[in-house]
Structure 1
Amino acid sequence: MKKLYALLLCGSLLTATSCNDMIDLTPTHSLSSANVFGKLDDFEPVLNGTYASMRDMYAYGLFSSVAADMMSDNLIETNESLVNYKAVTDWTYAADQLRIGEVWRFNYLMINDVNLILENIAPYEASAPKKANRIKGQALAIRGLLHFNLLQYYAPNFDRNSTSPGVPVKTTSKIETPARATVKQVYDQIIKDLEAALPLLNDVDAAINTATKRSRIDAATVNAILARVSLYAKEYDRAITYATAAISARPLATRANFPGIWSDANADEVLFAIQFNPGEGGPALDVWSPATNRSQWEPAATLLSTFDRTNDVRFASYFTAGESITGSVNRAGRFVVTKYQGKGTARDGAANFKAFRTGEMYLIRAEARALTNRAAEALADLNTLRAARIANFAPGTETGQALIDAIALERRKELWMEGHRWFDLKRTTRVVNRADCRPGSVCTLAANSPKWAWPIPQGEILANPSIAGAQNDGY
């Protein structure tokens, strides 16, 4: 039994860095932090590797990108589906299911990578402080972002001071078995990491990104992450402050340039993108595969009906009518998801995933202002965004609840397939109602359902004695 527990411990994500105490012989030629990090340059490959890992399906290759639309009312599963994600998208998940465990495991593996950087970089900071700032600042920001991504899935609520269980906070690469921190404690660590990263990334030795390539986290990105975190936490003044800083750094794209964002012809208004290269998959290949024209998921009719198909630049940037796509399973009249078709004219799905954009920042600021009795400013933000996307747009005049509803609708349209819809519904305590749901699918999810929080993976519960008995309600 002791040996079984040790094996489980090694398999647990939160403790998976090494299990040397189980091995009788000490290897004579092994890598450790002592000999991997011999100079400051040695930290760069680890940081680069973490960014590369973000392309994985259990990170921004699906679950931190388009899964939020698959799980909500934005996408409808078609009869071309391979039903690979049925348990997730029909909310029938269980603690021992693969997808539930892999999202947990993979995000903590990436956290472990940046923890290795953060606990070993101190001896090299004095010799090249600005270079160290650039590396350390990105590592801190990644750790904060990934803890937030985990909180989105596994926490039952997003209240800033909630004492309900969140996720374990992992700030060391050492083997340990941490308990679930409260939601408040997780927020505390996320904000601590991001606020520590900000001054570091404002004092670096070289530019982290360029105007045309936004594949790393810089100070503007950190402001954007803090804006999103603050909105979820209902710290609206902070959300306004950080969104404003992000907007100042990256103005909205013009209507003429907006379509080029999605073919990576430009990076206008992109604050941070996960870079996908040919042969490395893409964020939406499980929704629509350009190579085979298999459309496993299609945009919901209720979503399509909200767009001005003639004047809204987003419509043609996000959707394509089926009859204009050649392919063996083409169906006349359908719309397919072409938002991530590929770079340039490529049809391989390897377009970059836009994790943070200025469009989102306008909507964060608008919502935060609307909820703090600054309706005129909120409406101005909403109208600015709508005018940037819709030709001949007549400024709206919404007030009160109509204004809040208009902002929510614009989030659904603007941020479609960018990792938001499921979590927007969760944080605002609404329901999922798939009006054009296919036969055999689950079509509604009540606001009080325990399924809004994923179960803690069974493997973690078995391997980590500190988390045993701390399962989410309903599992």
Structure 2
Amino acid sequence: MLFQNIKNTICKGALSLVCLTFTVSCESFIEIDPPASDLTVDVVFADPKTVEATVTGLYSSAFISGNFWHYAPHFYGGMIADEIYARTATVFDDLRYNTYNPNIATYGLFWSNGYKIIYQANSIINGLEKNTVVSEALKQRYTAEAKFIRAYMYMLIAGYYGDVPLILTTTMSETSVAPRTPKAEVMAQVIKDIQEAETVLATVAMPTTKVNKLAASALLARVYLYERNWDLAILKATEVLAGSAKLESDLNKVFLRTSTEAIWKISSQNSNPSLIDRTSYAQMIVPSETGLPTYPNYTSLYRSFEKGDKRKEKWIGYRISGTDTLTFSNKYKQRATPADASLAEDAIILRLGEQYLIRAEANIQKGNLKEAVADINVLRKRAELPNLPETMTQAQMILQIEKERRAELFVEGHRWFDITRTGRADAVFGAEKPTWKSHAALLPISRADMESNPKLIQNPGYN
């Protein structure tokens, strides 16, 4: 069963980090037999250094360059949407055409990797409840970080699967047979976790490479938008836009380590010996100077940019193959560790550009079109595009914000959520993919997970 298989993750992660071996992927941890008792967990939480290592390990297991959540929303999420496809690898055709097979493990990766991180977060939260070896301030901070990451994971897997088991414990008798929880309840817990994290982190100075108060507010703004709470989405986005992050005027600097736009990022500095100062995503997507892209963009993405949009020039690369032009995402540019340290890149998970679009979309839904146009025009100005007119109707603006989000946030893990949450999947993906069927807006639970938990019910269309 999933949680039985990963019970030892937190213990192994903490001890591995202390031994400076945390550059190994989290995948290797799941093969370890679970301990006969909770003695190992007790040992981990009995020493301040291993507690700190365990919290650091939560970031590493999830987001370190090369691990699943570092690239999955961009890579797999881009494939199941209409952003990238595998040029030669037919193994990804079922993602490209949304013809999912529950017997294939790929779709279960979102589920299993998501719950691995949730289990680690739960272990930290529960392990710190009565802990006396760290100060109260550190206990609150570590708990806030774990709750934020748990919320982030639940937001993602609920977006891919819909109803998912809401698990807040590490008790095997409960987790191994947990049924699916209505998505509304899961998202309510997501909001609760982020709110609690935000309150604690408001009193703590944290770098952008760690969960911080601004990141909590930014994620809340996104979740409120997804949940159609327009007023709170506007409120939180406004708080973030008034914060310390500043929009980069140079598009080439948005994804650098030095980016002033970054709200929350994962450092690639000395984190993975094989990927120093660069991201695994760039290594996967950006071709060599003479090679063709393995995962090019859909032609429709390239054609969706307005004439003169500098994002197309700065963030899209291309290669010529015979009579064809193959384009690829070039937001992250470093395939190898750059010789010039000023070109180092970190994986940016939350950035300021999104917040302008969150506030704009919420204002559009409320009918505040003048305010929405003003926010959109901030990003259009940076892209050297003309301002949108204030005479557009609400219906026109609803379609416009979809277009603006595509141009600004492409291949950053947003497109799938943007199209499915607005009920536009049939219209958008159906037009791009002849094999599209409505039920593909939710992924199937893998057969392995279904068989390990008899209380799980498969999503419609996959039985």
Q: Is TM-score (shorter-chain normalized) higher than 0.5?
A: yes
Q: Which amino acid aligns with 1:336?
A: F
Alignment of structure 1 residues 356-371 onto 2, 5 Å = 356-371=350-365
User: How much has 1:345 moved relative to structure 2?
Assistant: 4.2
Distance in 1 of aligned mates of 2:361 and 2:61 = 32
Q: Which residue of 2 aligns with 1:3?
A: none
Contact 2:98 2:435 in 1 (8 A): no
Over 3 Å counting, the alpha-carbon distance change for 1:443 and 1:188 in structure 2 is same
Give the deviation of 1:278 after TM superposition.
5.7
Does the residue aligned with 2:410 lie in a helix, a strand or coil?
A: coil
Is 1:96 aligned to residue 109 of structure 2?
no
Residue in 2 aligned with 1:170?
167
- How many angstroms apart in 2 are the aligned matches of 1:45 and 1:71? 35
Distance in 2, Cα, partners of 1:409 & 1:284: 24
Q: Map residues 117-266 of structure 1 onto 2, 5 A cutoff.
A: 117-124=124-131, 128-155=135-162, 166-175=163-172, 176=175, 177-204=177-204, 207-209=205-207, 214-256=208-250, 258-262=251-255, 264-266=256-258
| CA–CA separation in structure 2 for the residues paired with 1:333 and 1:453 | 32
Provide closer, same or farther for how the CA distance between residues 37 and 330 of structure 1 changes in structure 2, counting only shifts above 3 A. Answer: farther
Per-residue deviation, residues 7-31 of structure 1 (Å, max 9, x unmatched): xx3xx24774269xxxxx9979x95
1:116 aligns with 2:123: yes
| Offset of residue 279 of structure 1 | 1.7
**1:474 maps to 2:461:** yes
In structure 2, the residue corresponding to 1:320 is in which secondary structure? strand
Distance 1:73 1:101 in 2: 20
**CA separation of 1:462 and 1:306: change in aligned 2, threshold 3 A:** closer
Distance 1:293 1:84, change over 3 A: farther
Equivalent of residue 454 in structure 1, options 443, 452, 458: 443
Q: Return the letter of the residue paired with 1:102.
A: L
Aligned to 1:407: 401
Structure with the largest fraction of helix: 2
Matching of residue 465 in structure 1 with residue 454 in structure 2: yes
For 2:291, give the aligned amino acid: N
How far 1:147 moved relative to its partner? 0.8
Shift in alpha-carbon separation, 1:26–1:228, aligned structure 2, 3 A: closer
Instruction: Give CA-to-partner distance per residue, 1:51-90, whole Å, 9 cap, x none.
Output: 1122376733332223322222233543xx2234222222
C-alpha spacing 1:72/1:169, structure 2 compared with 1 (3 Å): same
Tell me the equivalent position of 2:286: 288
Following TM superposition, by how much is the alpha carbon of 1:304 offset from its aligned partner in structure 2, in angstroms?
Answer: 2.3
**1:32 matched residue in structure 2:** 40
Taking only aligned residues, the RMSD between alpha carbons, in angstroms, comes to 3.1
SS at match of 1:191: helix
Distance 1:125 1:232, change over 3 A: farther
Residue 52 of structure 1: SS of its match in structure 2?
helix
Matched position secondary structure for 1:64: helix
Structure 1 75/357 Cα, relative in aligned 2: closer, same or farther at 3 Å? same
For 1:122 and 1:18, locate their aligned partners in 2 and report how far apart those are by CA, in whole Å: 19
For 1:330 and 1:125, how far apart are their aligned partners in 2? 67
1:75 is paired with a residue whose SS is coil
Structure 1 position 320, deviation (Å): 2.2
In the other structure, the counterpart of 1:338 is: 330
For the pair 1:321 / 2:318, whether they are aligned, the reply is: yes
d(CA) in 1 for partners of 2:35 and 2:282?
45
Which of 47, 51, 61 aligns to 2:55? It is 47
Q: Would you say how many aligned residue pairs link Structure 1 and Structure 2? A: 423
User: In the alignment, is the contact (CA less than 8 A) between 1:282 and 1:350 conserved in 2?
Assistant: no
Query: CA 1:181/1:332 → structure 2, altered by over 3 Å: closer, same or farther?
Result: closer
Relative distance call for 1:330 and 1:226 in structure 2 (3 A) is: farther
Can you give the 5+ residue segments of structure 1 that lack an aligned partner in the other structure?
Answer: 1-8, 20-24, 156-165, 324-328
The CA deviation at 1:201 is 0.9
Amino acid of the residue matched to residue 202 of structure 1? A
Q: Report the identity percentage.
A: 25
Alpha-carbon distance in structure 2 between the residues aligned to 1:125 and 1:196:
21
Structure 1: distance between partners of 2:67 and 2:439: 22
Gaps of 5+ in 2: 10-33
CA distance in 2, matches of 1:317, 1:434: 26
Instruction: Quote the Cα distance in structure 2 between the aligned partners of 1:408 and 1:355.
Output: 20
State the secondary structure of the residue aligned to 2:328: strand
Match of 2:31 in 1: none
**Correspondence for 2:423:** 429
What is the Cα deviation at residue 189 of structure 1? Answer: 1.2
SS of structure 2 residue aligned to 1:119: helix
Instruction: State which of 72, 96, 100 in structure 1 corresponds to 2:81.
Output: 72
CA contact (8 A) 1:208 1:216 kept: yes
Change (3 A) 1:346 1:97: farther
- Between the aligned partners of 2:313 and 2:293, the Cα distance in structure 1 is 17
Offset at residue 269 of structure 1 (A): 1.2
In structure 2, the CA distance between the partners of 1:15 and 1:233, relative to structure 1 (3 Å rule), is: farther
Change (3 A) 1:76 1:444: same
Q: Please report how far the alpha carbon of residue 193 of structure 1 lies from its aligned counterpart in structure 2 after TM superposition.
A: 0.9
Residue number in structure 2 paired with 1:299: 297
Q: C-alpha separation between the residues in 2 aligned to 1:303 and 1:422? A: 13
AA aligned to 1:322 is R
Match of 1:268 among 256, 260, 265: 260
**Structure 1: distance between partners of 2:316 and 2:45:** 47
Quote the residue 1:163 is aligned against. Answer: none
**Which of 351-360 and 298-307 deviates more?**
298-307
Structure 2: how far apart are the matches of 1:245 and 1:73?
A: 32
In 1, Cα distance between equivalents of 2:114 and 2:367: 37
Tell me by how many angstroms 1:182 deviates: 0.6
**Aligned partners of 1:87, 1:172: CA distance in 2, in Å?**
34
CA spacing shift, 1:200–1:290, aligned 2, 3 Å: farther
